[in-house]
Amino acid sequence: MRELKQLQIPALAKEPNTACSEIVAEAAFALASGIIDTIPFVGSKLDEQQTRAWPRSGVFTDDGVEMTGTPPEIFELCELLAAHIEKGTSFDVFEVFHKIARIDRLIDWRHGAVLSPEPHPITH
C-alpha cells in the first residue's frame, strides 16, 4: 500500500529521469488523497500539524480496539480514485459508492452530510 502523502513536484523535478507517467501517477494519487481528506471522518487527527486526514485518534474497530493506523479501506478508495484520475476516465458511481459504503462507519455524517433533511415550510 502506498502512503497517503502530499504531492512533491519539486522532488520529482530534481530527478531528471522521472518518467512522465510516474509524475502523472503521483499527481493522480495526491489528488485522490486530497479528495479523501475532505471527508468528515470520526475521531481527530493525531497532530494539529498533520496535513492528511489519517491516521486518527478516537476511532475504534467493531471489537472496541483503537485503530492505530490508516484502515486498508481508505487506501483502497484512494487507489480507485487515483486510477480513474490517472487514466482520465469517468468514475463508476456504483464502484465508488461500494468503496464509500465500506468506510461508512468511519464517517461522521453529522458534518457535511444530511441524512434526513428538515422539512421546509411551503411558501406558495
Polymer length in residues for the chain: 124
pTM score: 0.73
33: which 3 cell numbers?
488523497
How far, rounded to the nearest angstrom, does the alpha carbon of residue 95 sit from its chain's CA centroid? 15
Question: Where are the chain's structural domains?
Answer: 52-109
Location of C-alpha cell 452530510: 113
**pLDDT tens, 32-51?**
999 999 999 999 999 889 99
* Number of alpha carbons in the 13 Å side-chain half-sphere of residue 47: 4
**pLDDT tens, 65-98?**
999 899 999 999 999 999 999 999 999 999 999 9
DSSP state of 38: T
